[in-house]
Homo-oligomer: A and B are copies of this chain.
Amino acid sequence: MRFHGYFRSSSAYRCRIAFNLKGIEYDFEQVHLKHGAQKDAAYKALNPQMLVPTLETDEGDRLIQSLAILEWLDETHPEPPILSRDPLTRARERGFAQVIACEIHPLQNLRVLKYLGQELGADADQTSAWLARWLGDGLEACEGLLAQTGAATSFCYGEQPGLADICLVPQVFSAQRFNVDISHLTRVNEIYNNCAALPAFEQAHPKNQPDFEP
């Protein structure tokens, strides 16, 4: 399969972790977001939303949206699973993933940050405050969700990394990148460190991608 992504995109980062956990080989195609390559007509034909990632399957089908890609990977390459077999636990894993994918990540997207500066005249301090608010509140909600389970597992929902961890790690990376202080979120940091120690997560890190730029 052919994966269109960008080293710094946290939704591409999620997919890379899943590829690694499942041992799936793929061809990589860079979409240089900073250069606006996502707006090229050829890419738009592939992904009408003009965002990364896009996955082209071996049959030539095109899949968009990282969480949809992750679920498809889990359904077509079930081992090791990234979602529990129990409907309640699956719902919790998905809910956690969606706190990140639906409520944090969209507000820190490159296109949104650009809009804040260019259209609303936000300065650097205002942009930092915006990021601190949504990343801070969002990751605090994640900490609250983990507290609800009452379990001190190595990963979000058990002893194996899954969908929630796959979303958490790139989001914590973004918090670090944007200098958002989340040092008080004990479980979030603990789980982040447990994940970071695994090769599947380490190899998916933006700094280890072929299109990395410092």
User: Residues of A with Cβ closer than 8 Å to B?
Assistant: 44, 48-51, 57, 61-65, 67-69, 71-72, 75-76, 87-88, 90-92, 94-95, 97-99, 101-103, 105-107, 112, 115-116, 119-120, 122, 126, 129-130, 133, 138, 140-141, 143-145, 147-148
Contact B107 A112 (CB under 8 A): yes
Give A122 to B193 CA distance when docked, in angstroms: 39
* Minimum CB–CB distance for A122 against chain B, Å: 6
* Minimum CB–CB distance for A129 against chain B, Å: 7
Give A87 to B69 CA distance when docked, in angstroms: 10
Contacts of A64 in B (CB 8 A): 95, 99, 145
Contact A72 B99 (CB under 8 A): no
With A98-B68, A106-B102, A133-B115 in contact, do A61 and B88 touch (Cβ < 8 Å)?
yes
Q: Which of B71, B106, B126 is the one whose CB lies under 8 Å from A91?
A: B71
With A50-B141, A141-B50, A144-B48 in contact, do A87 and B102 touch (Cβ < 8 Å)?
no
Specify the chain B residue showing the minimal Cβ separation from A133: B115
Contact B87 A75 (CB under 8 A): yes
With A106-B103, A106-B107 in contact, do A75 and B90 touch (Cβ < 8 Å)?
yes
With A75-B90, A87-B76 in contact, do A103 and B49 touch (Cβ < 8 Å)?
yes
Can you tell how many copies of this chain the complex includes? 2
* Minimum CB–CB distance for A74 against chain B, Å: 9
Specify the chain B residue showing the minimal Cβ separation from A87: B75
Contact A116 B120 (CB under 8 A): yes
Contact B91 A63 (CB under 8 A): yes
Contacts of A105 in B (CB 8 A): 102
Contacts of A107 in B (CB 8 A): 106-107, 112
Contact A51 B103 (CB under 8 A): yes
* Minimum CB–CB distance for A94 against chain B, Å: 4
Specify the chain B residue showing the minimal Cβ separation from A91: B72
Specify the chain B residue showing the minimal Cβ separation from A76: B87
